Amino acid sequence: MAVSGFWTLIGILAVVGSQMVEVECNEEAELIRDLFKDYNKNIRPVKRHEDKVQVQIKLTLTNLISLNEKEETLTTNVWIEIQWVDFRLSWNITEYYGITIIRVPSKTLWLPDIVLENNIDGKFDLTYYANVLIQSTGEMYWLPPCIYRSTCSVEITYFPFDYQNCTLAFRSQTYNANEVELILAVDKGVKIEWVEIDPEEFTENGEWAIVHRPARKVINSQYSPDELEYQEIVFNIIIQRKPLFYIVNIILPCALISSLVVLAYFLPAQAGGQKLTVSISVLLAQTVFLFLIAQKVPETSLSVPLIGKYIIFVMCVTTLIATNQIVVLNFSLRSPSTHTMSNSVKRLFLEMVPRFLGMSPLADDNEVTTEMNGLRERRRSSFGLMQRAEEYVLKQPRSEMMFDKQRERHGLTRSIVDNMDISSTANLYKSLAQAAPEIKQCVDACNFIAESTRQQNNIGSVIENWVLIGKMIDKVCFWAAILLFIIGTVSIFLTGHYNRAPEWPFPGEHNKYEPPL
């Protein structure tokens, strides 16, 4: 008997509980039925026509997805918070079982038609039409998630050390300022003049760092309040690029490859073909880097990116080095038969330039230039030694090394040889010609050989001087290329290093538009 009474009690409690749940559900349904009995979602929630609906807007950024410089498009993942008051959807809590808030599909309500004005894909719809929270006072709270693709004018002057100022501009698509007033959201009496970021939900971008995120209402005075363009809520996102990727993958390899062209100066001055091969190979590699940059930045003629300026600079330096190598090769392969070296050229490149480079002069101080019969004859001090050796050879075999009978057979006597004037080659030649005409031919042959040797030495000396001039030009251009390369690289990238986002988001306003600490 006790067991049956227990199960009866359990059954009664179950029936009562199910009825209570049904009553509770019916209470909210009854409230919604009463609220939407004569509700028209196409009519503004105002009592008089001249009244305005005040709409509060707040933006919460959850992910800065990307900034496509080529298409000048910013892709963001945001939550847009919209609040307004609809007096037609208010109720007395005591009359409806203490219900203070209800959730209603957004497509059944009047909406202020807030859209992103600077969207680029033409899709004004939201990603997901979330429910609207309605409080008993008629306050509407709508928080739909969105993925926006908006236009962003990209300034590439200092790429990849640049910062960009992108905007998200919102306004009503169907209502003007006399019908709907757009304002920034207010929380606990504080106007939210910034883009909200939840640290727990926000995903940091690997290429961009957010510097400023101000928000403000903009009144376009060139329009009247009856036009849709008169008012808009603008959220600015000022971002600074993180250049590490471009430094490691583009700038550093380009600088290293460009520095190889300077090493071509360590090749001999006559190795012009090998030098040009190195220079042209480096020039082709720099062209590849230039193509990579062209695929990244927008196709605009308004400005040239900083890294593009650097690549063009090193390409110009490489071209100048290749031109210099051709000039050096031209100097190094000159000969007396094609060019005449003037004293001023010799003095400049063999005396003054070496002293300027901290080297000893390359010209021989004992070298003498004389004029004979209108022709320029070049002789060095070594030629004097050769001349004295020639006199010795011409004298010794015929004065001391010949036997007496052989000397008598040729008509030479000791008295004749002793009376010869051997103070110079010319006097010796005359004395031998007078003593024995047969020896004259031998002396002429020896003089011809000596003169040919002397001319060959003169030609070799001139060719050597041209080669030395080429080496001096090479050394001067080597140091000039080193200085130009270093100064140009440092100056170009220093301008990018100091290109930072401004301290204040708007010029002339000392307000960072940030939440209070």
- Reading the block at residue 358, the tokens are 């901290």
Q: Are 282 and 311 in contact (CB under 8 A)?
A: no
Structural contact between residues 495 and 158, judged by C-beta atoms closer than 8 angstroms: yes
Q: Shortest CA distance to 216 belongs to which of 509, 517, 500?
A: 509
Which residue has tokens 């390369």?
485
How far is it, in rounded angstroms, from Cα 393 to Cα 217?
109
Position 106, amino acid: S
What pLDDT is attached to residue 236? 95
Count CA atoms closer than 13 A to 121's CA, side-chain side.
Answer: 11
Which element (helix H / strand E) includes 389?
Answer: helix 381-399
Amino acid found at 162: D
Distance CA 24, CA 21 (A): 5
Predicted local confidence at residue 363, as pLDDT: 59
pLDDT of residue 516: 81
Cβ partners under 8 Å of residue 54, min gap 6: 84, 85, 181, 183
Output the CA–CA distances (angstroms, integers) from residue 498 to 20, 491, 493, 502, in the order listed. Answer: 70, 11, 9, 11
**Cis upstream peptide for 160 (omega within 30°):** yes
Q: What is the DSSP string of 20-55?
A: HHHHHHHHHHHHHHHHTSS--TTS-S-SSTT--EEE
Length of the chain: 517
Secondary structure (DSSP) of 254-320:
HHHHHHHGGGGGGS-TT-HHHHHHHHHHHHHHHHHHHHHHHHHS---SS---HHHHHHHHHHHHHHH
What is the largest distance, in Å, between two alpha-carbon atoms of the chain? 177
Q: What is the pLDDT of residue 264?
A: 85
Q: What is the pLDDT along the chain (517 residues), one digit of tens a residue?
A: 444 554 454 555 454 444 444 444 578 888 999 999 889 999 999 988 889 999 999 999 999 999 998 888 999 999 999 999 999 999 999 988 889 999 999 889 999 989 998 888 777 677 788 899 999 999 999 999 999 999 998 888 898 899 999 999 999 988 999 999 999 999 888 999 999 998 888 888 889 999 999 999 999 999 999 998 899 999 999 999 999 999 998 889 988 998 888 888 888 877 778 888 888 899 999 998 888 888 888 777 778 888 888 999 999 999 998 888 888 888 777 777 777 777 777 777 777 777 777 776 665 544 434 433 444 444 444 444 445 545 544 554 444 444 444 555 555 444 444 554 545 555 655 665 565 566 666 766 677 677 677 766 666 677 777 777 778 888 888 888 899 999 998 998 888 888 888 889 988 888 888 888 7
Token pair 């200092």 is found at 158
| Residue keyed to tokens 């090749």 | 267
Contact 137, 87 (CB under 8 A): no
Do the Cβ atoms of 127 and 121 come closer than 8 Å? no
